[in-house]
Amino acid sequence: MKKVILASGVALMLGMGAAHAQEKTLTISVYAFAQDEFKKIVYDPFEKLCSCKLVVETGNSVERLAKMEANKANPVVDMAVVSMADALAATRSDLIEKIDTSKLSNFDKLYDIAKDPNGDGMSVGYTFYATSIAYRTDKMKIESWADLLKPEYVEHVAFPNVTTNQGPPALYMLGQALGKDSPDLKGAIEALGEKKDEIVTFYVKSSQLVQLMQQEEIWAAPIGRFSWAPFTKLDLPIGWATPKEGQTGGMNVMVLAKGSKNQELALQFMDFWLSTEVQAKLAEALVDSPANKEVKVSDQVANNITYGQETAESLKLIPSDVALDNRNAWLSEWNAKVGQ
């Protein structure tokens, strides 16, 4: 009988241990980008700090949001990082809930644009990037987004396809420059369509632009700042434009899964990620541009990321509701006026 009782006691202790371990497991849903760096800078240090286990799920936004939707009744993810627009989509689908920012000690350190990107309290920005024009300073002068369509320049331009992350923001700014800045982007798409046979390519991957620039097939292309570094290594005079209409870009945000059983731990993790130390290390590794305004980096690092108060305040981001409500119309208009 003693052996039975002892065995039961051990089983009970093991069961309690398993339950405890389960309580201290945090499941996060993130982009697949730079996971080795994130593991070293964010994940491993947090696990040591919280004495918990991080389960990291990666994938593109469509896949990850679909998984959250499929498990809506019994969430398998505690927190996720997505784009601003995807955060609003998750809100509309009732997949996430309001973030108690009073529990984020680093919240007040964020740039204003990152504190409540969608204005609904459902997300917090952790990184953003500028989108502008990389161009040959010896071949052209860029003072406006509309300069890309000038007769003397257009045959040396690459423009992002509307299906890419850079497509809609670039069209958004082109529309503003042309005085046709309606949410449907029709004016910008139509203007681009009129020049479609002259434009070198409507690119899908920014990596192809470096070779085109090196071969002097293009002189200019709208790109995200995160794609800028390879251009600086070319033995060519290439500049980053500051058009009079401003720069656009994008922001990635953190969200809290509705019904998560580990919300307190999720908030601790968010706060850790937003800390000055962690954001600085991610910036120095050229992984993410910091949303924490206390981060200080070298000039060399600053030149390869989106950095500083002035830049943060100047970004003209497409409102998430505009992006969500017009995505299908943008694609339809693009296919009609520009084609594949």
Say how far apart CA 208 and CA 203 lie, in whole Å.
Answer: 8
Residues in Cβ contact with 38 at an 8 Å cutoff, skipping those fewer than 6 apart: 30, 282, 287
Cβ burial, residue 106 (10 Å; 0-12/13-18/19+):
buried
pLDDT 10s digits, 155-213 = 999 999 999 889 999 999 999 999 998 899 999 999 999 999 999 999 998 889 999 99
Please give the pLDDT value at position 75. Answer: 95
Nearest C-alpha neighbor of 175 from the set 197, 192, 199, 162: 192
Comparing 33 with 87, which gets the higher pLDDT? 87
In this prediction, residue 14 has a pLDDT band, given cuts at 50, 70 and 90, of very low
- Is residue 106 within 8 Å of residue 274, measured between CB atoms? yes
Q: What average pLDDT is seen over the chain?
A: 92
Cβ(317)–Cβ(113) below 8 Å: yes
Percent of the chain with pLDDT over 90: 84
Q: Where are the alpha helices (DSSP H) in the chain?
A: 2-23, 35-38, 44-50, 61-70, 84-92, 112-115, 167-178, 186-194, 207-214, 229-232, 263-273, 276-284, 299-302, 309-314, 320-337
Question: For residue 23, what pLDDT band results from cuts at 50, 70 and 90?
Answer: low
Using pLDDT thresholds of 50, 70 and 90, give the confidence band for residue 8: very low
Determine whether 16 is exposed, middle or buried from the number of CB atoms within 10 Å of its CB (0-12, 13-18, 19+). exposed
* Per-residue pLDDT tens digits for 49-79: 999 999 999 988 889 999 999 999 999 999 9
Cα separations in angstroms, 149 against 63, 111, 133: 36, 34, 13
For CATH 3.40.190.10, the residue range(s) in the chain are 2-127+251-313, 129-249+319-337
Structural class in CATH, domain 2-127+251-313: alpha beta
Note the pLDDT of residue 307: 96
pLDDT in tens, 286-334: 999 999 999 999 999 998 899 999 999 889 999 999 999 999 999 999 9
- Contact predicate 311/242, CB 8 Å: no
| Angle between helix 320-337 and helix 167-178 axes, rounded to 10 deg | 80
- Domain 129-249+319-337 fold is D-Maltodextrin-Binding Protein; domain 2 (3.40.190)
Count CA within 13 A, CB hemisphere, residue 181: 16
Terminal CA-to-CA distance of the chain, rounded, Å?
77
Return the structure tokens found at 165. 């992350």
